[in-house]
Structure 1
Amino acid sequence: MKVLVPVKRVVDYNVKIRVKPDGSGVDVANVKFSMNPFDEIAVEEAIRLKEAGKATEVVLVTIGPAKADETLRSGMAIGADRGIHVKTDELVEPLAVAKILAKIVAEEAPGLVILGKQAIDDDSNQTGQMLAALLGWGQGTFASKVEITEGSVDVTREVDGGLQTVTLKLPAVVTTDLRLNEPRYASLPNIIKAKKKEVAAKTPADYGVDITPRLEVLKTAEPPARKAGIKVGSVPELLEKLKTAGVL
């Protein structure tokens, strides 16, 4: 079974985000980029499926600028077999991403698509669900456990009330949550080997997908500074403060 793993290049989660003075967006000049953390978990899970004999090939896909090639190479350094880079310098919204991925799925015919539940830059949490809808496949979102069985996949999901396990017929789409696994570090020999692995260069036009934005960002602003708290002398006073604030 082939596993397809879409990955995204985002500002590293350790970087403190700065908003441009004119409010037009986030300042990304001279900041560190890395693979979206949820996608790292997806890559790790795909590699584990391959190591367990459940998958035969792991193919990574990324959509973004030329530098996104580094994101693919980092995934291949921990065990992915090859990559597909859909090159564009434009911002690609979730629906357009899903449409491109649907075209790639039609070409690659994977048995499973596994990707992060959301990207930490836009936090849309839409691509996996949209892709499943376009393909007409079953979907298991927010996965904290994935088990491949004969012709199906059992996905344990994190929901408000605890855990829910769903069984999906393959092929299917699975999105990963933080507690699914802990991604491994790439070794130096594997980093070197990854530089020689195959990466196919494509463009959105190759798949006939219009990536023109459907949304307009009016303004970007930093969240307001948190106000200082106050100390209370007793539980009754605390309850009174909470009632006054409308919390109780």
Structure 2
Amino acid sequence: MRVLVGVKRVVDYAVKVRVAADKKAVDLANVKMSMNPFCEIAVEEAVRLKEAKKATEVIAVSIGPKASAETLRTALAMGADRGIHITTDLRTDQELGSLSVAKILAKVAEEESPDAIILGKQSIDGDFGCTGSMLASLMDVPQCTFAAKIDFDASTVERETDTGTEIVKFPGLPAVFTADLRLNEPRYATLPNIMKAKKKKIDAKSIEDLGVELSEGNEVLEVFEPPPREAGILVEDVDGLVDKLKNEASVI
């Protein structure tokens, strides 16, 4: 089984983002970037499949500027066999949306013929969470989203829902899977593996090389800071709490 896994370069989750002066985007100047946390989970799942002898090759693919090669090196250091870098100067948090990404991944999948495609359920910059579903639709293959556990032997996926988890059966491979938080705990890349990753192959291609026609239906009009949270209040007793919840907050 060959596994294609998507990785995205995003602003590090620990960084407090700043709005650019023109209020059209987040300011990325001198900001620490790292692999999207859900993509780390996807890479970990793919590598575990290889370690379990269920996957023969793990291919990491990233779409973005030149610096995205660093993100691919991280995936390679975690255990991926080789990387594919789709180069573009378009901002992946705005100008390159979910549909365009899905089209690009579909073209890569057409060339690589993977048995399984594993993506993060969402990226922490856009939080749309729809690239996996769009990709499955474009490829006309089953989709298993928000996966908390994947059993390829039984062809089942335990997936997260708003009310708990459910177990669904998929008809077979190829299929698209999106990783949720409880799927696994990503490993840290060790120094020896980081050094080995420098020798692994990364194929660079442009979007133009793939011949993909990009199309987006969304336009960012304004980016702004969320309003500051109001200060909380202290109540003297339970009766006072109930009174506030009932008469001021109107939640009971």
TM-score range, shorter chain: over 0.9
Instruction: Return the letter of the residue paired with 2:86.
Output: V
Distance 1:8 1:187 in 2: 21
> Are 1:235 and 2:238 matched, yes or no?
yes
2:146 maps to 142
> Does the alignment pair 1:181 with 2:184?
yes
Counterpart contact for 2:99–2:215, Cα < 8 Å: no
- Residues 146-184 of structure 1 show CA distances to partners (whole Å, capped at 9, x for unaligned) of 1111xx632111112211111111111110011111111
Contact 2:99 2:216 survives alignment (8 Å): no
Structure 1 partner of 2:7: 7
Q: Which residue of 2 aligns with 1:166?
A: 168
CA positional deviation for 1:111: 0.7
| Structure 1 segments of 4+ aligned residues over 6 angstroms from their partners | none
> What are the Cα deviations for residues 129-152 of structure 1, in whole angstroms up to 9, with x where unaligned?
100111111111111111111xx6
Task: Name the CA distance, whole Å, in 2 between partners of 1:198 and 1:21.
Answer: 39
AA at the equivalent of 1:166? V
Decide which of 191, 201, 204 is 2:204's aligned counterpart. 201
Structure 1 residues 89 and 212, CA, compared in 2 at 3 Å: closer, same or farther? farther
What residue in structure 2 maps to residue 113 of structure 1?
A: 117
The 2-side partners of 1:205 and 1:113 are apart by 23
The aligned residue for residue 98 of structure 1 is 102
Q: Secondary structure at the match of 1:25?
A: coil
Contact 1:93–1:211, Cα closer than 8 Å, also in 2: no
Question: Taking every aligned residue pair, what percent have the same amino acid on both sides?
Answer: 59
Give a deviation string over 1:31-80, Cα, whole Å, max 9, x none: 11110000000000000000001100000010000000000010001110
Give, as a single letter, the amino acid of the residue that structure 1 aligns with 2:195.
Answer: I
Cα distance, 1:96 vs structure 2: 0.5
Greater shift, 18-27 or 193-202, is seen at 18-27
Distance in 2 between residues matched to 1:205 and 1:194, nearest whole Å? 27
Q: CA deviation at 1:214?
A: 2.9
Q: Give the deviation of 1:237 after TM superposition.
A: 2.5
Once residues 211 and 46 of structure 2 are traced to their aligned partners in structure 1, the CA distance between those partners, rounded to angstroms, is 28
Mean CA deviation greater in 1-10 or 188-197: 188-197
- DSSP-derived class of the 2:62 partner: strand
Match of 1:132 in 2: 136
Matched with 2:36 is 36
- The size of the alignment, in residue pairs, is 246
Match of 1:16, SS? coil
Distance in 2 between the 1:161 and 1:245 partners?
A: 25
CA distance in 1, matches of 2:165, 2:217: 35
Which deviates more from structure 2 when the two are superposed, residues 204-213 or residues 87-96?
Answer: 204-213
* 1:210 positional shift: 2.5
Counterpart residue identity of residue 161, structure 2: V
